């Protein structure tokens, strides 16, 4: 079994200690983390988890970073069993921030760890021909996340614009394939960024779906698609939004964003010294709302209804609306995303054995996606290749038909 090793700084009862964790590319490794009360919030690398979010009251995990391969896995396992792996005193939030900084992330690219991860999740660009081969005779349906997939992650979430060239690539993609944008943002907001008609938009983590009439193989539906599985939560979300605006206003840089069916508290512009305070304020508001849950994204806290609905469910709903059943082998969904919330969709495709998931990431992450792309510019290259391939196969088909 191939193992991925990570290192975690842990604070117990106010005293910083250091412990090693072992993650693997199987569910066994995730189990190790869950046993420490850290949950799957720590799947991203590097990941920073505010104290207030941890389920264990006296444990703070500040950062995960790879252990060099030269360290023996056995040694690490021993340290874990013994409950400690060294006495360095620098396991602070500041370390976490530094570990998350671009120079470290770039360095990860060169490691053996990254190379081995790329073997398991090869580039969708270098494997393009094989992917198209697998889709032969099937209907390709495209699903794309927005932030970090079509647009770069920027300091101000209101300025996460996609490039003109990327918009053209998405427009061309939608000409040839049913295309959906699946985002944590509210539908109107993501539409205002993408600005393309004729696509399906699944906003608020799939809780607000709208799109053109679904013309599928069985029949043509004249009505546009509109589905909101969590509409009863709108008044509650609005109430919490107002409470959070009030309670977080003393924290400089904190930004509370309403996505109609869910909320985002961005801390990418907050001084790291105040991350704990911010998370605690959010947690205190949510104590009064047991029907809402809190999850961690990329420098963002997400508040969502506890209903079983996520990007994976949105993908299932859209495929069904297009006339494809879970067992159909004539559909080839391709889902591109960079966030932990996209894993729900990757998991659905993996379990169904339909299509492929492509994780957008420069660093190794535990993922259910089969392939990877490094960043939005590689996503754009992939879309252009896809459109070019489709045009070429149509030309061949037409030439064949004319004979």
- Give the containing element (helix H, strand E) for 357: strand 356-360
Handedness of CA 351, 353, 357, 363 (dihedral sign): positive
In this chain, which of 9, 145, 208, 277 binds Mg ion, going by CB under 5 A? 145
Report the alpha-carbon distance of residue 116 to residue 112 in Å, rounded.
6
Residue 257 sits in the site that holds Mg ion (CB under 5 A) = no
Q: Is 95 a catalytic residue?
A: no
Residue 366 sits in the site that holds Mg ion (CB under 5 A) = no
In this chain, which of 9, 113, 147, 366 binds Mg ion, going by CB under 5 A? 147
Number of residues that bind Mg ion (CB under 5 A): 5
Residue 344 sits in the site that holds Mg ion (CB under 5 A) = no
Token pair of 375, please?
């960043």
Half-sphere exposure of 53 (CA within 13 A, CB side): 25
Q: Cis bond leading into 247, ω under 30°? A: no
CB nearer to Mg ion: pick between 145 and 343: 145
Do 165 and 171 touch, CB atoms closer than 8 A?
no
* Span interacting with Mg ion, options 136-144, 158-166, 205-213, 336-344, rule CB under 5 A: 336-344
Report the alpha-carbon distance of residue 381 to residue 361 in Å, rounded.
15
- Of 6, 8, 15, 9, the C-alpha closest to 58 is 15
CB nearer to Mg ion: pick between 5 and 349: 349
Cα dihedral 290→204→220→224 (10° resolution): 100
Residue 339 sits in the site that holds Mg ion (CB under 5 A) = yes
Q: Among residue numbers 74 through 93, which ones bind Mg ion (CB under 5 A)?
A: none
- Give the active site residue among 9, 25, 145, 344: 145
CB nearer to Mg ion: pick between 25 and 145: 145
Shortest Cβ distance from residue 338 to Mg ion (Å)? Answer: 5
In this chain, which of 91, 148, 312, 355 binds Mg ion, going by CB under 5 A? 148
Residue 338 sits in the site that holds Mg ion (CB under 5 A) = yes
- Of 315, 312, 310, 297, the C-alpha closest to 261 is 310
* Span interacting with Mg ion, options 84-92, 144-152, 214-222, 276-284, rule CB under 5 A: 144-152
Our CA angle for 89, 95, 100, nearest 5°, is 155
Report the alpha-carbon distance of residue 337 to residue 357 in Å, rounded.
8
Shortest Cβ distance from residue 264 to Mg ion (Å)? Answer: 12
Shortest Cβ distance from residue 44 to Mg ion (Å)? Answer: 11
Site for Mg ion, rule CB under 5 A = 145, 147-148, 338-339
Positions marked active-site = 145
């Amino acid at each position: 079994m191939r193992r991925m090793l990570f290192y975690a700084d842990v604070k117990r009862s106010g005293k910083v200690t250091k412990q090693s964790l072992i993650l693997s590319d199987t569910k066994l490794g995730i189990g190790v983390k869950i046993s420490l009360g850290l949950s799957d919030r720590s799947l991203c690398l590097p990941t920073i988890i505010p104290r207030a979010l941890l389920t264990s009251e006296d444990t703070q995990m500040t950062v995960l970073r790879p252990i060099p391969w030269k360290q023996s896995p056995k040694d690490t396992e021993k340290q874990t069993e013994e409950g400690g792996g060294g006495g360095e005193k620098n396991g602070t939030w500041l370390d976490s921030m530094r570990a998350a900084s671009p120079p470290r992330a770039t360095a990860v690219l060169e490691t053996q760890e990254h190379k081995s991860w790329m073997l398991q999740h090869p580039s969708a660009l270098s494997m393009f021909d094989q992917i198209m081969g697998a889709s032969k005779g099937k209907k390709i349906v495209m699903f794309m996340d927005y932030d970090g997939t079509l647009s770069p992650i920027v300091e101000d979430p209101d300025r996460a614009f996609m490039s003109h060239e990327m918009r053209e690539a998405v427009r061309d993609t939608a000409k040839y394939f049913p295309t959906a944008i699946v985002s944590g943002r509210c539908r109107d907001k993501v539409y205002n960024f993408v600005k393309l008609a004729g696509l399906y938009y699944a906003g608020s983590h799939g809780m607000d779906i709208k799109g053109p009439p679904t013309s599928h193989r069985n029949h043509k539906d004249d009505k546009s698609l509109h589905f909101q599985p969590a509409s009863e939560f709108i008044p509650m979300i609005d109430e919490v939004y107002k409470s959070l605006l009030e309670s977080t206003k003393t924290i400089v840089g904190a930004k509370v964003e309403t996505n109609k069916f869910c909320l985002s508290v961005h801390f990418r512009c907050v001084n790291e010294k105040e991350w704990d305070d911010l998370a605690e304020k959010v947690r205190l508001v949510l104590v009064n709302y047991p029907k809402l849950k809190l999850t961690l994204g990329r420098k963002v806290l997400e508040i969502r209804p506890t209903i079983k609905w996520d990007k994976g469910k949105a993908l299932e709903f859209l495929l069904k609306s297009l006339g494809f059943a879970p067992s159909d082998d004539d559909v080839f969904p391709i889902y591109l995303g960079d966030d932990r919330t996209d894993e729900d969709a990757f998991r659905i495709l993996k379990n169904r054995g339909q299509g492929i998931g492509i994780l957008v990431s420069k660093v190794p992450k535990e993922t259910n996606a089969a392939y990877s792309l490094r960043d939005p510019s590689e996503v754009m290259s992939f879309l252009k290749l896809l459109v070019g391939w489709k045009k070429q196969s149509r030309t061949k088909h037409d030439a064949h038909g004319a004979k």
